[in-house]
Amino acid sequence: MIASLIKFSRKRRNTPQVISILFLLCLAILPGQVILPGHASEIIPVHAMAMHGSPKYGENFSHFDYVNPDAPKGGQIKLVAIGNFDTFNGFIPKGIPASGTGLLYDTLTVNGTEEAFTQYGLIAEKIEIPADRSWVIFHINPKAKFADGHAITAEDVEFTFKTLLEKGKPFYRYYYGSVKSVSVLDKYRIRFELGTDNQELALILGQLVVLPKHYWQDIDFEKADLTNPLGSGPYKLEKYSAGKRVMYERREDYWAKDLPVNRGRYNFGKVVYEYFLDPTVALEAFKSGSYDFRSENNSKFWATQYEGPLFKAKKIITEEIDHERPVGLQGFAFNLRKPLFQDRALRRAMAYAFDFEWSNKNLFYGQYKRTLSYFQNTELAATHLPSKAELSILTPFKDNLPSEIFNQVYDLPITKGEGKARKNLRKAIKQLKTAGYVIKNNHLYSPAGDRVEFDFLIHQSQWERIVLPFVKNLKVLGITANLRRVDVNQYVERIRKFDFDMIIGNFGQSLSPGNEQREFWHSSSANIPDSRNVIGIQDPVIDQLIDLIIAAPNREQLVIRSKALDRVLQWNHFTIPNWHVSYHRLAYSKKLVHPKSLPKYDVDLFSWWINPQSTATNTTSQKGH
């Protein structure tokens, strides 16, 4: 349009009327507006962004439905942490960061925990984004301040973004790597150019923690130490004992305490993390009242250990609460960087050695269900034969995919739970022989003549009772699996360097998968230390499926493409899937109170509060639930 008028103006020799029209049109095309074909259309700043559909809460909402907006403030909650810590900088791939540091920082936007993927404004009070999501402008709230009183500006956002990509964990490069450019428009506006092939990029940019440029510009960001961090969040670091205890104090001058996204939240006056080296010792400490809250992930503990004087006196409450949260996948994960595990036939056969039904009956007290999908407990899971829409995606890759993908529903070997897996083990031996493996002197050898032996790395003692029966069954196949237990620090460092054969891998998922899939499964992340591609997957088909997920134009296509990826991950046998529960197992001090209904995707502990009749140090005070 502008070009046509310029051409027209030349014909008219730039008459005053034409010049005026051109001037007004140029003024109209300001940052935050786009010109669509055929007409002008202004981009109206909004308070929230939804991945698909519309946000649940309108512009003038007062608080999230699941919180108590009038929850009392104050008191102290003690939480648990396992291991130790040596840094408060959790943004870099060094050191062991202290628990709770997220309380120190605000992000541009915050997630609505009742929705699949919606971001509401926090530091960014308004957001401009066009229909094609090719760019986004965040409007910084002029009231937003760091804890030292400095205003948060667009320059802080730019500094944070560039610093994390350059010096932060590999995660940030995969999460934000598709951003084409970033530019500061003025003190309170920042623009990101995104392109149109990544529909969630604007939303995940909203999750960006904002760091103070004036604080970090004279400090070595890449140093992992106990430097007291400066943030803008609801809490500040009050004191700590290195590796043992961290205490955070609620900021009365917190700039965002009255915003709708924060009303009824961050109610505790102090938040303390008590460190224990061993989970069993930590549980005993909880039973004696040493800290206030546990979300239990150990079925044996839940079935047998939540008893004692404080439970009988109802001074500790136990509760099971159903949720609709994606459970992702936990499983025995192979390290494909090891030549031994590059054979899919071996990985598949080894799955027959894990007797889940016996474990669930004898070790887990029947609490678990078998996990079959990387998107378990969601509509994204591939639980039936592929649809026509999925086949249209997968068929072009047919020559490079396991044939089972196209005509079978993924399943895992089952037993009667009697501890007799002979039938499954016979099937495994048959498959191994077909693949060219041979048994000599009770040891299995690969087609290349290499003995099949590996280490299974763990760091928690409670895994021994689960892994040892698996090791015993592998021995029947002629496979030697050496269970190696190391301390937490050594374990973390070895995982960062991919120095292991097999581990228990955890691959958490959301209802809206996107950029994070690159770090889980993409070839580009396979050999980057500290990436979440612990398996070491390097598969061009998977790479393309991830790109399709990221570029999904709507919810329907996201579901279809996620199911296609799920099938490829399933049938490549990258893991031996474990188990899951679809409810929270919570135990907490009677002084804690939670809202009448919890959000369906999360516990959100920081929407809880302390009964005003209780004291911060007395877990035996009057009932507050």
pLDDT at 619: 40
- Residue keyed to tokens 């970090």: 216
Inform me whether the pLDDT recorded for 33 exceeds 60: no
Tens-digit pLDDT profile for residues 100-147: 999 999 999 999 888 889 999 999 999 999 999 999 999 999 999 999
Return the higher-pLDDT residue of 6 and 168: 168
Inform me whether the pLDDT recorded for 28 exceeds 70: no
3-state secondary structure 89-123: CCCCCCCCECCCHHHHCCECEEECCCCCCEEEECC
CATH 3.40.190.10 for domain 68-83+233-324+582-625, yes or no, is yes
Inform me whether the pLDDT recorded for 35 exceeds 80: no
Nearest residue to 202 (alpha-carbon basis) of 175, 167, 184, 168: 175
pLDDT at 615: 56
573-576 long-range contacts (CB < 8 A, ≥24 apart) are 573/344, 573/347, 573/348, 573/351, 574/333, 574/334, 574/336, 574/347, 574/535, 574/537, 575/329, 575/331, 575/332, 575/333, 575/334, 575/505, 575/535, 576/331, 576/332, 576/347, 576/350, 576/351, 576/354
Do 513 and 380 touch, CB atoms closer than 8 A? yes
Count Cβ neighbours within 10 Å for each residue of 40-54 and write b for 16 or more, e otherwise: eeebebebbbbbbee
Tens-digit pLDDT profile for residues 278-308: 899 999 999 999 999 999 999 999 999 999 9
Please give the share of the chain, as a percent, with pLDDT higher than 70.
92
Backbone angles phi, psi at 368, to 5 degrees: -110, 160
Q: Do domains 48-61+106-216 and 68-83+233-324+582-625 have the same CATH topology?
A: yes
CA 109 from chain centre, in angstroms, equals 16
Tens-digit pLDDT profile for residues 311-362: 999 999 999 998 888 899 999 999 999 999 999 999 999 999 999 999 999 9
Per-position DSSP letters for 165-228, written without gaps between them? HHHS-HHHHHHHTT--EEEEEETTEEEEE--SS-TTHHHHHTT-B---HHHHTTS-TT--S-PP
What's the pTM value of the predicted model, to 2 decimals?
A: 0.78
Tens-digit pLDDT profile for residues 385-437: 999 999 999 999 999 999 999 999 999 999 999 888 999 999 999 999 999 99
Inform me whether the pLDDT recorded for 621 exceeds 60: no
Per-position DSSP letters for 323-363, written without gaps between them? ------EEEEEE-TTSGGGG-HHHHHHHGGG--HHHHHHHT
Domain chopping of the chain, boundaries? 2-30, 48-61+106-216, 68-83+233-324+582-625, 340-580
Q: Which CATH class is domain 48-61+106-216?
A: alpha beta
Please give the share of the chain, as a percent, with pLDDT higher than 90.
82
Identity at 317, one-letter amino acid code: I
Tens-digit pLDDT profile for residues 443-482: 999 999 999 999 999 999 989 999 999 999 999 999 999 9
- Tokens coding 9: 């103006």
Distances (CA, A) of 54 to 47, 48, 107, 118, 119: 11, 9, 21, 8, 11
Give the CATH superfamily of 340-580.
Answer: Dipeptide-binding Protein; Domain 3 (3.10.105.10)
Q: Using CA atoms, how far apart are residues 624 and 611, in angstroms rounded to an integer?
A: 5
Tens-digit pLDDT profile for residues 373-382: 999 999 999 9
pLDDT at 613: 84
